[in-house]
Amino acid sequence: MSKPVTEYQTRVYTLLQQIPQGRITSYAALARALKSSPRAVGGALRNNPFAPEVPCHRCIASTGFIGGFNGDWTKVPSGLNCEKKLKLLSEEGVAFDTKGMLLDKSCWWDEFRV
């Protein structure tokens, strides 16, 4: 049984839905928009029961690194969950190199309406 979604998670998921297909944002950009912390954003994304419709896969590290997905960060980019994230983003036209780094910096997006 899944946990109820908190007010904070709802705010994070609402902002995620603003990110256009083929664009990405960072945990830090979401945190700035929410006046929160990247770690708190990551916690909300780790528990996203609405993925991929609520596109947590469009959130990566501010360095351009693919980051985690479904709580799997340590094996990136070789972990199964991160392969799924890479596949979802690739299908949207967002490409990463073999080390999990974003190739096209024009994909960044942070025009959140709070």
Contact partners, residue 8, CB within 8 Å, separation at least 6: 34, 36, 40, 44
* Structure confidence at residue 53 as a pLDDT band (50, 70, 90): very high
Residue 82 lies in a domain: yes
Is a pLDDT exceeding 90 seen at residue 19? yes
Residue 108 lies in a domain: no
Residue 1 lies in a domain: no
Domain count, the chain: 1
The whole-number pLDDT of residue 81 equals: 62
Structure tokens, 32: 């700035």
Confirm whether 56 is a catalytic residue: yes
The whole-number pLDDT of residue 91 equals: 97
Is a pLDDT exceeding 60 seen at residue 27? yes
Catalytic residue among 56, 59, 82, 107: 56
Residue 56 lies in a domain: yes
Contact 44, 12 (CB under 8 A): yes
pLDDT > 70: percent of the chain: 86
pLDDT > 90: percent of the chain: 71
The whole-number pLDDT of residue 108 equals: 97
Contact partners, residue 16, CB within 8 Å, separation at least 6: 30, 45, 48, 54, 55, 56, 58, 59
Of 65, 22, 25, the closest CA to residue 41 belongs to 25
Residue 2 lies in a domain: no
Residue 111 lies in a domain: no
Residue 105 lies in a domain: no
Contact partners, residue 98, CB within 8 Å, separation at least 6: none
The whole-number pLDDT of residue 76 equals: 47
Kindly report the CATH number assigned to the domain that includes residue 45.
Answer: 1.10.10.10
Residue 23 lies in a domain: yes
Residue 32 sits in which domain range?
7-92
Contact 23, 93 (CB under 8 A): no
